[in-house]
Each structure stands twice: as structure tokens, then as C-alpha cells.
Amino acid sequence: MSLKRPLRARVSKEEYQFLLRLREQKPAHNPPKPSVSPGDRLADAFAAVMGSWRFIIIQSLFLMLWVLFNVAARTQHWDPYPFILLNLMLSFQAAYAAPIIMMSQNRQAAIDRAEARHDYEVNLKSELEIELMQDKINLLREQEIAELKTLLLQQRQQIERLEAFLVSQQNREKENLAPTEEGS
């Protein structure tokens, strides 16, 4: 049985260089920290408010009261049916809310991309580290097998020498016993 070469081909030179760079960066200890400008904070707060149940409930109540006061009110109707002023206000709200919410979503998408890239680097580093550890384990196992094979060969040689010695001892005893038996 011949010994095989150590299994060292799992991690290429490029992957190993990349692993060294990742080790220096320590991505698991340095998560990305997005910079947040005042405009970003305002857009996030605006999107958080407009995307809440509280806002939907308050706006729904406001719309119901608007319609109620303009349809059933005994006072002067400031926005009679078909509620042109209400439509204008809602259009303004939508015209300003949509781009601000999109800014917040775009910023969140950029944060998500940075986090995904960070997670990819951490996972890739882990995978490469595991491959290197597997290579080391395989190398140690192969060295251990080679040492065991050497020890077994040495034991076999010692056993063969002992067997040869015992056979020669038995032959001497037979030779020593043989003349004495004939003489008696």
C-alpha cells in the first residue's frame, strides 16, 4: 500500500490570498456602519410615520370627518362634493410622500446590500478557514498513517527476527537432544 500525497488542493493560491486579506479585515468583528445624514434620518422618520397603522387610522378618521362635515354639516361647506380641495391635499401629500419614502427605501436597500456583502465575506472566510482546517486534519491523518505504517513494518521485522530466533533455538535444542536420546 503506497502513501498518497497530502490533500492540499482544496484552497487555491488566490483563495488563500483572499483569506489572508479577510483575516486582516476581520469582517466578523467589523460590521458595516452606514453613514446617516440629517436628510436620511428625516426620510427614515417620515417613512416610519407614514408606514404605520397609527398614521393610517388618523388619516382615515380625518378623511371621514372631512367628508362628514362637508356633506352633512349645517354650516357652510368649505369643500362641497366632489371634494376637490380634499383631492388636492391628498395629491400634494402623495406627491411629497412618494419621493421621500423612495429615498428611505433606496437607503435601506443600500444598507441591505452592504450587509449582504459583509455576510458573504464572513461566510466565505469561514468556508476557507474550514477548508484549511480540513486540509490540516487530512495532512495530520496522513502523517499518522505513515507513522503507523512504519511502526507496523518495524514490528513485522521484529516478529520475523523473533520467529527466526525461535526456530534456530528449537533447531539447536533438537540437535542437542537428538544425540543424548540415541546414547541412552
The answer on pLDDT for 183 being more than 70 is: no
71-106 b/e (C-beta count within 10 Å ≥ 16 → b): eeeeeeeebeeebeeeeeeeeeeeeebeebbebbee
Q: Report pLDDT for 9.
A: 53
The answer on pLDDT for 5 being more than 50 is: no
Q: Report pLDDT for 2.
A: 44
> What's the per-residue H, E or C state across 26-81?
CCCCCCCCCCCCHHHHHHHHHHHHHCCHHHHHHHHHHHHHHHHHHHHCCCCCCCCC
Q: What is the pLDDT of residues 27-79, one digit of tens each?
A: 777 777 778 889 899 999 999 999 999 999 999 999 999 988 888 867 777 88
Cα-to-chain-centroid distance, residue 84? 55
Pairwise CA distance, residues 28 & 24, whole Å: 11
Pairwise CA distance, residues 14 & 147, whole Å: 33
The answer on pLDDT for 147 being more than 70 is: yes
Q: Kindly report whether the global pTM for this prediction surpasses the value 0.85.
A: no
